[in-house]
Amino acid sequence: MAFDLVLTGGRVVDPSQNLDQVCDVAFAGGKVAQIGQDLATGATQSRDVSGKVVTPGLIDLHTHVYWGGTSLGIDAEAFARSSAVTTAVDTGSAGPGNFAGFRKHVIDPCRSRILAYLHVSFAGIYGFSPRIMMGESHDFRLMAPQEAIPVIEANRDVIVGIKVRIGRHASGPQGIAPLDVALDLAEETGLHVMCHIDEPPPSYEAVVARLRRGDVLTHCYRPFPNAPVRGDGTVKDQVLAARDRGVIFDVGHGMGSFSWKTARAMLAAGFPPDVISSDVHAFCIDGPAYDQVTTLSKFLALGMPLDEVIAASTSRPAAVLSRPDLGTLQPGAAGDASVLTLAEGSFAFADVKGETVTGSQRLTSGGVVIGGAWWDPA
C-alpha cells in the first residue's frame, strides 16, 4: 500500500490500544493507515521523529477560539501548531444568536478541527475581559433554549453539547436556574451539558447534584471557595456520588480554575480528572494556563503517568464527544497525530493562585498531523 505520510522512529503512545512502543505510523487518504515497523519505503513523504512521543491527535475539550467574534477568542490554527492540538472544542463562546458567524468565519475556514458546545445564552460569552466582567447568565432574558434548537439541528456535525456558566460571577442573582434551562435543552436535543462553576453561590455540591451521566463539570480542580474537597482534603460526598453516576470531571485550567492544593488533594484521594483541558483564551494564553501541553505537563509534575495524561487528552475526551474516529491511531481513524517533545530537567509551573511547583518533565509541541498532512510547530 502506498502511504502519503509516514512518521518513523517515534515512541508511539496510544492509550486506546494500550500501545507504548517505538514504531512507525502511516497515513493515507486523510486517515491512519497502519502502525508497524519499516513502513516508509515507497511513501510520498516520511518524517523521522526519533526521540519524540507520537500520540493520537490531542483533543482540548475546553477552549475559546471564536477569534474576532468574542474578546476571549484565540487563533485555533496557531494554537494547533503551538500546543499540538488537532481538535479544539470551543465551549460556549457563541450562542444561538451568533453561532452562524462563528461557523462561517472561524470553524469552516480553519484547517484544524473545531467542535463546539453551544451556549444556552443568546450571545454566548460576550462580556468577558480584564476590566469588564458581565456574566451572560445574570439576565434570564438572555436564556435562549427555543432559539438554540434550530441552530443545533442545522449544525449537528460540529455542535457536540450545551454550555452553561454558573456561579457568583457567571450567573449572579439567577443562581443555579440557568443550569436547569441548559439541562432541559439538553434533554430536548439529546445532547449533554458542560457546566462551568466559579465562586458560590451556588455551591459545588448543588451543581454536581444536578448533572447527569455524560454531562461535564469543568473547572473540577478549582481552588477554595467552591473546591471539590473539604478543608481536611477529603472529597465531598456529592462529588463522589456524581462520579459514580457517570458525570465527567474536566480540568478546564483557564485563568482562575486550577489549584495545586486542590489537585494534590484530589489525586491523593484517588480522584484523577477524567479529562485534562486548558480552557485557553486570550486572557490566560500568556499564563497561567498557556496551552494544552503546559497543562498536561502540570499533571506529569503531580505524578500522573504519561499514558494516563495522554489518555485524558485523547481517548477519554473522544469518548465524551462520542467520536470514536478521534483520540486513537487505529487504522481507519481520522488522520490526526501529535508529535511531542518530552524534555527532562527542572521546570517551574504556576497555578492560578501563584503557587509554583517544579516538575522534572515538560511536554512541548514537535508538530502535528491533521488529515494525514504534516504541520510544523510554531
Q: Which residues line the annotated binding site for Zn(2+)? A: 62, 64, 163, 196, 219, 279
Nearest CA to 369 out of 15, 16, 28 is that of: 28
Are the C-beta atoms of residues 271 and 243 closer than 8 Å to each other? yes
Query: For residue 1, which amino acid is it?
Result: M
Number of CB atoms found within 10 A of residue 231's CB: 8
What are the helix and strand counts (H, E) for the chain? 10, 15
Measured between alpha carbons, how far is residue 214 from residues 8, 78, 273, 274 in Å?
A: 37, 30, 14, 11
Per DSSP (E only), the strands in the chain are 5-14, 19-28, 31-36, 45-48, 53-56, 58-63, 85-91, 113-119, 159-166, 192-197, 216-218, 248-250, 337-350, 356-370, 373-375
| Residues tagged in the binding site annotation | 62, 64, 163, 196, 219, 279
24 phi/psi in degrees, rounded to 5: -100, 150
For the record, the C-alpha cell of 141 comes out as 432574558
What span, in angstroms and rounded, lies between the C-alpha atoms of 114 and 103? 9
CA nearest neighbour of 137 among 107, 115, 98, 166: 166
E-state strands within 207-258: 216-218, 248-250
